[in-house]
Amino acid sequence: MIKPHGSDNLNPLFVSDNAKRAELEKEAAGLPSIMISSGAAGNAVMLGAGYFNPLNGYMNLADALSVAEKYTLTDGMFWPTPVMNIVDQATADSIKDAKRIALKDPNVDGNPVLAIQDVTSIDEITSDKMQILVKNTFRTEDKEHPGVAAFTAQGTMAIAGPIQVLNYSYFEKEFKDTFRTAVQIREMIQKNGWNKVVAFQTRNPMHRAHEELCRMAKDSLNADGIIVHMLLGKLKKGDIPADVRDACIRKMAEVYFPPNTVEVTGYGFDMLYAGPREALLHAVFRQNMGATHFIIGRDHAGVGDYYGPFEAQEIFNEIPKGSLLIEMFMADHTAWSKKLNQVVMMRDYPDHTKDDYILLSGTKVREMLGNGEAPPPEFSRPEVAKILIEYYQKEIASK
């Protein structure tokens, strides 16, 4: 099986020993505690689950700046995005002499302790350093960008240090059939007897073109299986909730793929909308979960018009050679060809014009679903459309 990033073995930071975890939970009750941001909580879940191997906790400012500017930590190891615990000044002041702190979960009622952190440094992020972090990570400083807005709203103080993760926030309970750690996915791959494995990232329900893209990748690579790996954390306003996406994707996999060729799973993280940089991060944690290949599509992890359609593919030429073991399957836009009566990758058919494809905007699709009208079967499977129609009509009725 493919090795994890940066080490021979996966090093998840979740404390799996029940007795040890109970000890730490008891210790946490007596430690200085802080409420962390949703972004920092997502980082803790990913560290706990092994997806952010081989990191042992939150980066200090020097490492985060090095990652932003050079794609590497100060020790030279490849890493694509800052993984930080950023708080405001008052929160930092409240624990300034503490060596060990409890991190409270902002996303769960009662704010239970999510992790315990050893404090190795508390660094102020000056405005010029914040600019470096933001501009390099998101390729924009526009506060209207949802990722920039969330990152800069956290504060200006970076608390660095290793963590011990005590739970997986709300993900394990709310998505018990879907949330899986990198450790569990590796075990699943091994149990399935898969050697070559394609991972597909999604934050949306999969329409027909996504389905065919997975099939194209599997067939062209002669892969043993596909892992559809969906984001389960916070999204921007207007995006489809995770439980609805989950139902859509499971129905598509159940009806339209042969048994034992697709696994539907998810991970606990908030969307960054960082386009190219997030594509790199996605590749890192797909390697950590055991996938050998990863599909990078058009405008991968993008939002609005902030990124060019293929910047998320081009960035893989910018990183140091040998940074990753996982291989990329670089995909073009896929759509239904009226000429050929099938979904095709558009770059492969230069003889086609726009009118030769069935292309629907997201706005048009939402409008159709809200009116109880299924998009054409060439665009969306009827079983999937039915689930989405029910969701949109409930949304309209509740307003």
List phi, psi (to 5°) of 105: -85, 120
Q: What are phi and psi of 321, to 5 degrees?
A: -60, 140
Q: What is the C-alpha to C-alpha distance for residues 17 and 14, in angstroms, rounded to an integer?
A: 9
Whether 347 sits among the annotated catalytic residues: the reply is no
- Identified catalytic residue from 11, 111, 192, 203: 203
**Neighbouring C-alpha atoms within 13 Å toward the C-beta of 242:** 23
Distance CA 284, CA 182 (A): 11
Question: Strands 225-231 and 197-202: what pairing?
Answer: parallel
Eight-class DSSP state of 11: -
Q: Is 107 a catalytic residue?
A: no
Secondary-structure percent of the chain, ordered helix, strand, coil, rounded to 5: 40, 20, 45
Q: Alpha-carbon distance 12 to 47, whole Å? A: 6
Peptide bond preceding 12 in cis form (omega within 30 of 0):
no
Contacts for 206 with CB less than 8 Å, ≥ 6 apart: 214, 228, 248, 249, 252, 384
- Rg (C-alpha) for the chain, rounded Å, is 21
Q: What is the largest CA-CA distance in the chain?
A: 69
Rounded distance, CA 139 to CA 373, Å? 38
The SS3 call for residue 264 is strand
Q: In b/e form, how buried is each residue of 186-201, taking b as 16+ CB within 10 angstroms? A: bebbeeeebeebbbbb
CA angle 253, 256, 258 (to 5 degrees): 85
Q: Whole-angstrom Cα distance, residue 193 to residue 189?
A: 6
* Closest to 186 (Cα-Cα) out of 171, 199, 204: 199
Q: Among 204, 215, 250, 366, which one carries the catalytic annotation? A: 204
What is the C-alpha separation between 246 and 178, in angstroms, rounded?
Answer: 8
Active-site residue numbers?
203-204
